[in-house]
Amino acid sequence: MSVNVEFLKIRYPPEFLPYAQSISITSSTAGLLELVDAYVPSEEQNRIVAWVKSIYMARLPDSELEWEIDNRVVAVNKVSAFPGRPIDVWRGAYNKLTIRLRYGSGVGPIDIPFAISIGGFRTSILQKILTFQELSDEEKELATKYGLFTMLSIRRLGPYNVEEDFDYVDEVEVEISSAHTIFRESVPSGWKIAILGITAEPTDSPSQCLLTIYRDEWKYEPVTTLDLFAMPGLEWLLPCRIISTKGIEVVADLPQPGTYYVRIRYAKSRITLYEKVMWGIKLTDVERRVAEKLKLWDWIKLGVKPMYMPVKLEMAPPMPTPKPPEVKPPTAPGPSPEEVEIEVIP
């Protein structure tokens, strides 16, 4: 059973959704399994560029992981060399992402823990360049105008940091012995909250304990459901980035009774003006003036944040310019007190 990647649940890009489940090999003969087979949404309103942030899988002898991106095989990894923890990767797909497991005879039957963090960015000129897509003449002109090609020639763009644009980061560890809400945090208007990493002590078999993550904006639509069987252990976080502008809830379901331990890393921060424009949040008149002054719509099309600040940036009506004090020209010195004649009146 392959991972069902739901790109349409990326509501506040860039986001990275975690998936954790068991992969069953039912036969002892050699074979091929598709772990991920996902098409990236192509509709204009839902258009994103997909990226794999991290992957975790148990070691398997005589097995290989084959990556096919946009109908090209780009990498083959030896699963027997996996370190037993999540591996940081950074591979993007513009149209389709496929990950296959080729295993030799004698590997199965077995249930394999498999976890992956897959997300996406809003489609932009930068994302098209990084995924080897052709730019239109208008996009080339905009990239040249703002110096994007020059920036890429002198600056290396590494893997995305999921904690970017967050100020307050914290972690909690939870003991689970019954089905209930194990994590619940909300934020006031103008703020955002995100789960940036999650892990757990793995269970002995699949489906013993499940975690489901919800956003308050869509309370009845789970973002993802994680099987603790596929978790790497409390010392290793599976990185992710699930954002909400209201609140996030994590609910535990225990098909089999037991005691389980979960670790969650989360963060809060104010929503930046760049994010408000990118996510389509309504702007105030002052915010709109500032966004227009910064040309944020152009920068979002580029896919990068402004590299400079305008000379005159008015967050509020300007204060009157203070005038320097008036300087009077010096006057000729008068006579000293000794030189003043005092007339004595008899």
Tell me what pLDDT residue 47 has: 86
Tell me what pLDDT residue 194 has: 97
pTM: 0.85
Any idea which residue has 């703002």 for tokens?
146
Q: Residue 17 and residue 68: Cα distance in Å, rounded?
A: 20
**CA atoms within 13 Å, Cβ hemisphere of 176:** 30
Tell me whether residue 152 is in a domain: no
Question: ∠ CA 152-196-234 to the nearest 5 degrees?
Answer: 125
Tell me whether residue 29 is in a domain: yes
β-strand partners of 175: 261
Tell me whether residue 343 is in a domain: no
Tell me what pLDDT residue 326 has: 66
Tell me whether residue 102 is in a domain: yes
Tell me whether residue 93 is in a domain: yes
Which structural domain range is residue 80 located in? 7-123+161-270
Tell me whether residue 194 is in a domain: yes
Tell me whether residue 145 is in a domain: no
Q: Residue 26 and residue 274: Cα distance in Å, rounded?
A: 49
Both tokens of residue 143? 């990239």
Q: Please tell me the total count of domains within the chain.
A: 1
Q: What is the pLDDT along the chain (346 residues), one digit of tens a residue?
A: 678 898 989 999 999 999 999 989 888 888 899 999 999 887 776 789 999 999 999 888 889 999 999 989 999 999 988 988 999 999 999 999 999 999 888 888 889 999 999 999 999 999 999 999 999 999 999 999 999 999 888 888 888 999 999 999 999 999 999 999 999 999 999 999 999 999 999 999 999 999 999 999 988 899 999 999 999 999 999 999 999 999 999 999 999 889 999 999 999 999 999 999 999 999 999 999 999 999 999 999 999 988 655 544 454 455 556 666 666 666 656 555 555 455 555 5
Element (H, E) at 17: strand 15-25
Tell me whether residue 302 is in a domain: no
